[in-house]
Structure 1
Amino acid sequence: MKKPKAIDLFCGAGGVSQALKKYFEIVTAIEYDPIIAKTYELNHGSEHLIINDIKKVTKEDFIKKAGLKQNQLDLLVSTPPCQGFSRHSRKKALDSKDERNKLILETIRIADIFHPEFIFFENVDNIVNYKIFHTFLRKLANLNASGQKKNPSRPSYHINFKIISVNKYGVPQKRKRLILLAKKINNFPFVEGVIKIPKNKLPIVTSPLNLWPKEQLSPLLGVHLSKYNLNPISAGETDLFDPLHSCRNLSELNLERIRYTPHDGGSRNSWPEYLLLNCHKKGNVGFGDVYGRMNRYDYAPTITCGCISYTKGRFGHPTEDRAISLREAALIQTFPLDYKFTGELSDIPYKGSKDVMATQIGNAVPVKLAEIFIKEFYSRLTINKIDKKIFSIQNDEKCNFSLS
């Protein structure tokens, strides 16, 4: 049986594609940043990759690259930039004018081209509070109150979306995400899929799509990392056998600070006063996780773009006097141990800016999270194909019987 077809929008460093390629043929992936695209190429090749601003890629470009006609695409994956929806963003208004937020509507545009059977969409949990996401839901469903198509020329989708904790889906990390699954509606009216948005409340689907994988609780951080048997390294060092197992150097002051920080979850609360920043001496000021250590007996904090910086979060190693390495960050994001990253336009992996590589890792969809959901789509598609084949055989047998 041939693999079903998939398109990966906003593919980034390739976390979703790493999961996709086990079950699907990736016919198109798109990434606008050439350095990030280089990381993607190092792991997944370049034949199906478009390096461009998605808004500038025409319908004809997509059709030519994918080699598919309408209704031939099995799965559309969309993981658009989340920074404009983040709780850390200073633009918290529901109608934020952050231009990046409009990129979620590109999902609708590409769905209108191919009419995919299924859609997988991932973003930060805070997106549910934004009006543009509510618009996105209405456009994706494309149903009026009676369950008929609003726009007859566009596909309609039955949706299920939830805010989940990734540690319940195989990822050893405290990370909240919005996951949306959608299936094309083929028979109308379909009132189950109607989107309702009560005043001052979150949108709801009349009867959400019955498609969701079972939870798979992740092992705790220490158990997860112990499988890879990484060598100990000091601040500023790079492992001789793994160029990505490399961590930032620390100033003498920060080295003293981390030595005073208790192992496995310790924080700056244990420092002598002379090591405290002036802003922290006032109490209840600043983020409490800053300058903290991770805890082997718990899940890691959310891996962000600043994940290798001791000063940007609880990114201190649980026991070694350093921040976590790029490899450790990638493993916490459940990339495989041999996954390659680059911080420059080079075909040689692990070269260039550590900050650029950290940004790629922090922005990625965790591979294991994507795999659990993608496998669910694959199973549903496989069952559908088997059912159609059985139906076809039964019809042929009836025809043969009647002729005899």
Structure 2
Amino acid sequence: MQLASSSPSLVTADEDPTLRATVLDLFSGAGGMTEGFHASGPFQTVQAVEMDAAAAASYAATFGDIVHVGPIGEWLATCEVPSVDVVIGGPPCQGFSTLGKQDAEDARNALWRDYAQTIVRAAPKYFVLENVGAFLASEQFGDLREATGVGGLLADYAFEAAVLNAADFGAAQARRRTILIGHHRDLPAPGLPSKTHAGRHVPLSAVLKRVRPQVASTELPERSKTVGGRVRPGPFLTTELHVGRTYSATSMARIRSIPPGGNRFDIPENLLPPCWQKHKRGSADVMGRLRWDKPSVTIRTEFFKPEKGRYLHPTEDRALTHYEAALIQGFPKTHRWVGSKTAIARQIGNAVPIPLGRAIANHLAEAMRLSRPDGGAETRPLVA
């Protein structure tokens, strides 16, 4: 992707390493945000930190052996933090997610402090924090804002934050996330990326139209590797994740009764389980069928279960496969995955949509270009 106007002499980041910005990826998962930054071009991830061993193995299989496996607190206490241009990461958000039980005292809510400590030690020019939409109204967000005040842990930094919809940045998925972009106070504020697809969202058909609708297997290929002393399935390419599940006759009858855009309220009374017969209200996404002409709903960690949301294929009588969910998230076919079907589904559902990550990276690349001493006016523009 070109970040400046064409000229007779173009120099890429691959040709001149001094044009490539370094990145540290915290709470990296399988590498969704890293995929987005690498797709932008002028970024090189030098280290990642992830405590989930399967997700870390997927990251390592894709990007190389640069990931520390373990809690971030352990890493901070025992390892040297590299100096980088950009720190990225999404501290776990279960404690204040709008899904499930909210717990303001959940220990995971305090992981932003480890993130902040890393910023102090890595001394980046910029940092990016990604989290659920509810984070913007959380106590932790207020604490982070306070940390950038006079005398605070992050007094040398300032930030802007907003809830962004991944569909507005080219993802075939409506996924609202808090995106926070911080900068060292010696640099101009980069602000937040502008929408690239407002009013022209990418429909589901754009990413799934070339996927064969039939699913031939319910199991991943027979392949394994030893990770951390434990044998785990994989690694698998994204294209090898087109696996389904076995449905009971009753489940199939329910699925077949649901039209495009429909949901559990379209299921005939005689096929409803007792709990749904008694509850005529509630989520309209449960047992929902997706539509070809609209973006997907948010891909969560249990997208392969129709009873968990609007995850039925637009025309096939089944839920999305892992392959389809990964494509909706924007993962390339070459991304590698390690773990069981459940573990890989968790990695897919927890990832940052790659188009959103790429938009953030493009925005920072332009900010870094303009902040150079020459104002980015040199005759050898950076391209990727």
TM normalised by structure 2 equals 0.83
Asked if 1:299 corresponds to 2:280, the answer is no
Residues 183-232 of structure 1, C-alpha deviations (whole Å, 9 max, x = no match)? 11139xxxxxxxxxxxxxxxxxxxx9452222122311112322xx1112
Distance 1:330 1:285, change over 3 A: same
Question: For 1:79-228, what aligned pairs fall within 5 Å after superposition?
Answer: 79-91=90-102, 96-139=104-147, 141-143=148-150, 150-151=151-152, 155-186=155-186, 209-217=189-197, 218-226=201-209
Structure 1 residue aligned with 2:334: 338
Answer yes or no: is the 8 Å Cα contact 1:238–1:247 preserved in 2.
yes
Answer yes or no: is the 8 Å Cα contact 1:236–1:250 preserved in 2.
no
Asked if 1:13 corresponds to 2:30, the answer is yes
Structure 1 residue aligned with 2:5: none
SS in structure 2 at match of 1:322:
coil
Q: Which amino acid aligns with 1:317?
A: H
The structure 1 segments of at least 4 consecutive aligned residues displaced by more than 4 Å after TM superposition are 234-241, 388-391
TM-superposed deviation, 1:87: 0.3
Asked if 1:76 corresponds to 2:87, the answer is yes
- Sequence identity (%): 30
SS in structure 1 at match of 2:213:
coil
Asked if 1:231 corresponds to 2:212, the answer is yes
Q: Which amino acid aligns with 2:27?
A: F
TM normalised by structure 1 equals 0.79
Answer yes or no: is the 8 Å Cα contact 1:36–1:360 preserved in 2.
yes
CA distance in 2, matches of 1:102, 1:154: 15
SS in structure 1 at match of 2:240:
strand
CA distance in 1, matches of 2:292, 2:71: 40
CA distance in 1, matches of 2:328, 2:292: 12
Asked if 1:50 corresponds to 2:47, the answer is no
> How many residue pairs are counted as aligned between the two chains?
340
Residues 329-387 of structure 1, C-alpha deviations (whole Å, 9 max, x = no match)? 001111112222121xxxxxxxxx21111110000011110010011111211222252
Q: Which amino acid aligns with 1:28?
A: Q
Distance 1:62 1:90, change over 3 A: same
Residues 287-331 of structure 1, C-alpha deviations (whole Å, 9 max, x = no match)? 221111111111111100111111211111110011110010001
SS in structure 2 at match of 1:76:
strand
CA distance in 1, matches of 2:308, 2:346: 13
SS in structure 1 at match of 2:59:
helix
Asked if 1:372 corresponds to 2:359, the answer is yes
Question: For 1:23-38, what aligned pairs fall within 5 Å after superposition?
Answer: 23-38=42-57
Instruction: Flag the structure with more relative contact order, 1 or 2, with Cα contacts below 8 A and sequence separation at least 6.
Output: 2
Asked if 1:387 corresponds to 2:378, the answer is no
Greater gyration radius: 1
Answer yes or no: is the 8 Å Cα contact 2:215–2:243 preserved in 1.
no
Structure 2 residue aligned with 1:275: 271
TM-superposed deviation, 1:59: 5.8
CA distance in 2, matches of 1:389, 1:328: 40
Answer yes or no: is the 8 Å Cα contact 2:369–2:376 preserved in 1.
no
CA distance in 2, matches of 1:142, 1:381: 24
Q: Which amino acid aligns with 1:307?
A: F
SS in structure 2 at match of 1:62:
coil
SS in structure 1 at match of 2:164:
strand
Q: Which amino acid aligns with 1:170?
A: G
Structure 1 residue aligned with 2:3: none
CA distance in 1, matches of 2:142, 2:356: 24
Provide the aligned C-alpha RMSD in A.
2.4
Residue of structure 1 aligned with 2:347, choices 360, 367, 381:
360
Residues 123-171 of structure 1, C-alpha deviations (whole Å, 9 max, x = no match)? 00101222122001211x233xxxxxx25x8552221110111110111
TM-superposed deviation, 1:121: 0.7
Asked if 1:284 corresponds to 2:291, the answer is no
